[in-house]
Each structure stands twice: as structure tokens, then as C-alpha cells.
Amino acid sequence: MAFKEWKETTRDRLFLLLAFLLPALWLVVFGYGLNLDVEDIPFAVVDRDHSEFSREYLQRFIQSRYFSFRGYVDEERTLDRLLAETTIRAAIIVPERFQEQLAAGVDAAFMQAKIITARFYADHLLSRIPGERDVIVEERRQRVDNNPGSVLGERMRAMLWPHHPYGTPVIGWLHEIQSLDRETALQFYRTWYAPNNAILVVAGDVDAAELRPLAERYFGRLRPTRDLPSRTWVSDPPNVGPMRVTHRDEKVRQPSFSRLYRAISYGTDTGHQAHALDVAMEILGGSETSRLYRALVEDQRIAVSAGASASSSGLGGGSVSIWATPVEGVTLEQVEAAADAVIAEFLRDGPTDVELTRAKNSLSANAIYSRDSQESLANIYGSSLAQGESIDDVVNWPANVEAVTRDDVITLSRQTLDINASVTGWLLPEQGQ
């Protein structure tokens, strides 16, 4: 008998919709679990279907004691404003051809529940801005302010890029985080978290014919940002000479030397300059067979570590890092002088044929091995497209690295490793320690 009753009720699409939607809404959105003591939740509606079916569907909510109906609105933008003003706490958006979508199965009902969940949850998070802001403040204190090396790195990048956004920490300066308000966060989200500023990457056993309907089904309803702002950055002033900074902290146990140079990136290069820069830094300091490591750690034995790397993924340029940590009893003056001597020799003579071949083989092999992981492959394509490269650039990267010549390496190294376009940093313990 019970089975027969259930079979009859499942023929009612509205019953199924409410049976699955309301519990999901209470459980996922409001977090009450088995406690359904929820009443008079203010909500508004955008009805794009304007059918008898959609009106009957909405009446179930309007007449429920759990919801307090505040009216119909014409645009989702109005819902955003009402949510921001906390006039409503939830929203229902009924799409066109709602009955047809519902006839396709319960999954359509789930999509409606998902819209309400996203709207409410976003508003719920925004209402907690002060608490979440404190979490970010604490995160910054743990990762940056309590780490002397991170503090020095921030100071060096701010000096290297005094006006460019790259001089600003990704997490933000402490005073800016503390002043962040709800409206600023909401405006940033509405502007930049939009489909016309996003890249969807799907990795796996799937083809475009299978993927496109799914993408249109789940993401097609997302609204783009109108007049998306272009990324335009101010130019930094010309270099006038080398810059230096010393940071002392009682938490420092091991002094270290580091240096940053401005450089090109895959977003700003012409031809294959960024490939040449990557090869150059691999030779100079990318491994234990590199120039810096062999000279400072193995031959002279004045450092416990030494290396170099290129950060070449920026849309507006990149940087090159040089670093070394002296052994006990060796000063930073000594290790810096030794590093400068290695760099000067490299700029004068360039790489050997053996070094060039080894560096290119190492970079190409790492790129090919990374393709063994679906997740890694998706990240490579997504990040490369986000920084202005094309799919062809990703596919041809190993071949482009192999095409780098000795002259390319020398030219980019001399262009980049200019002491007058650098910031040198010393990390030391407090005096007297």
C-alpha cells in the first residue's frame, strides 16, 4: 500500500520539486540539520516563465509558514540589491520553460535549489565580513608578519615595483585588510567573479560534443560583467641605481642574502624571450649542477644553499631571484661578493654547450612528465591561458625551449641581470644576538 501511494505521488512534479528542494534548502543553506525550526525567511522572486505552472509552484513557497514573501522583481540585479540591504535573505529565480526543464527530471529541481543556496550563502558570508576579515588578518600575521623572510620579501618587492600592483602583497597590507568593508568586497566579487573573466578547464576522457551541453546547462545562466574593466597599470619610474634593504629580527637564526631583478614574462615577451630566460636561470641556479650551487656550496664551501629562479608567469612582467645562505663564520658580504663573481662570469662567457643541453633537457622533461597528471595538466592550461598565452603556446612549450640558443641565453641574461634594476636584501638577527 505504501509503495502504491509513493508511486502515485511521484507522478506529481511539483511534489517532487518541493520534497527535494525544501529539505535541501534547510539542510544545506540554513545548516539546521534535523532541526526545522525555521520560520518567516524573507524572500523575493524573479519569474521568467510567467506560466500557470510557475505561479502554482511559487504559491507553495508563498503560503508556507517557513517563508515570508516580499514580492516579485523584474531583474536579478534588484535581487542583488535586496540581498545586500538584507531586505531579503533568500531568492528564487524561475527560468524560462521551467515546466519543460522540470519534466527532464529532478536534476532541474536541484538546479533551482542550488541557485537559492548560492544566493543565500553569498549573502550569509558577506554578513560575516568582520569575522572573516579577522581570519585574514590572523593568516597574514602567521604567514608574513611572524616570518622574517616573508617580511623582507615584501619590502624588496615594494621597492622593485613602487607603483605597479606587483609591489602589493597578494594577501594585502595589514592596514588595508583591517579597513576592508562589506560593500568593497561585494563590489569586487560582482565585478571580477563573472564568466567573461573566467576560464573553464575540464580534463579527462571527454570531448567537446559531450561537454558543451553540460557547460551550457550549468554555467550558461551566469551573467557576465558589463563593461568589464581592462587591466591597465601605471609604469614604474626608470631605474636610477641598485637598491638595498636590511631586515633584522630576533627570530632570525640563519642570515641570508637575496636579490630581485625586474624581468620579462610570457605575458610581455616577444618571440621566445621568456623561454630563454627560464633556460638561463636553470643554468645559473636551478639545481645542484648549476653555476651558483657548484661555486658557492661545493667548490668554495661558503654557503649551505645557493640558487636562482625566474618568475615569468605575470601578465605585466616578471622577476628573477638570486639567493644564498652562508655557512657559519662566513659573512653576507663574502657570500654576496662570491655570487656576484659567478654572475659576472656567466654574463661575460655565457653557458657551455653541455650546460645548455642539460638545462633544456631538464626543463622539457619536467614539462612532459607533468602531463601524466590530469590535475596538473588542467592547472597548466588554465594558468597559461589566464596569463595571456594560447593553447599552442602550452603544447609547443618543450619544442620552444629546445629551440633556445646560446646567444638567446646570453642576450636575455645581460638584459635582465642589471644591478641597476635590482633590489638586494640582507636578512640578519637583531644586533647583539
Q: For residues 214 and 211, what is the distance between their CA atoms, to the nearest angstrom?
A: 5
pLDDT score of 420 more than 80: yes
Residue 69, CB-side half-sphere exposure with 13 Å CA sphere: 13
d(CA 61, CA 57): 7
**How confident is the model over 137-157, as a mean pLDDT?**
93
- Tell me the percentage of the chain whose pLDDT exceeds 90: 42
Mean pLDDT over each residue of the chain, to the nearest integer? 82
Contacts of 30 (CB under 8 A, 6+ apart): 38, 41, 120
Is the confidence at residue 230, as pLDDT, over 90?
Answer: no
Question: Which secondary structure element, helix H or strand E, spans residue 321, and what is its range?
Answer: strand 318-326
Evaluate if residue 121 carries a pLDDT over 70.
no
Predicted pLDDT at 311 = 93
Beta strand 422-428 with 243-248 is: parallel
Does residue 128 register a pLDDT over 70?
A: no
119 pLDDT band, cuts 50/70/90, is very low
Query: Rounded to 10 degrees, what is the CA torsion of 202, 207, 208, 210?
Result: -100
Residue 30 confidence class, pLDDT cut points 50, 70, 90: very low
CATH architecture for segment(s) 243-428: 2-Layer Sandwich (3.30)
Dihedral sign, Cα of residue 38, residue 40, residue 46, residue 48: positive
Q: How confident is the model over 255-282, as pLDDT tens digits?
A: 999 999 999 999 888 888 999 999 999 9
| Claim: this prediction has a pTM higher than 0.75 | no
Q: Which residue has the cell 505552472?
A: 53
Q: Taking 90 as the threshold, does the pLDDT of residue 422 lie above it?
A: yes
Q: For 169-217, how does the pLDDT look when each residue is reduced to its tens digit (9 = 90+)?
A: 989 999 998 998 888 888 888 888 888 898 888 888 888 899 898 888 8
If we measure between CA atoms, which residue out of 280, 278, 298, 302 comes closest to residue 288?
A: 298
Closest CA to 422 of 276, 233, 296, 240: 240
Domain ranges in the chain are: 6-126, 129-193, 243-428
pLDDT digits (tens, 9 = 90+) for 52-104: 777 877 777 777 767 788 888 888 778 777 776 667 877 888 877 776 766 65
Output phi, psi for 16, to 5 deg: -60, -40
Tens of pLDDT, residue by residue over 336-354, are 999 999 999 999 999 999 9
Quote the DSSP letter at residue 72. Answer: E
pLDDT of residue 39: 63
pLDDT band at 112, cuts 50/70/90?
A: very low
- C-alpha to C-alpha distances, 180 to 4, 112, 132, 284, 359, nearest whole angstrom: 58, 32, 11, 42, 45
Give the pLDDT of residue 343.
98
Lowest mean pLDDT among 132-141, 215-224, 240-249: 215-224
pLDDT in tens, 168-179: 998 999 999 899
Per-residue confidence band for 220, with pLDDT thresholds at 50, 70 and 90: confident
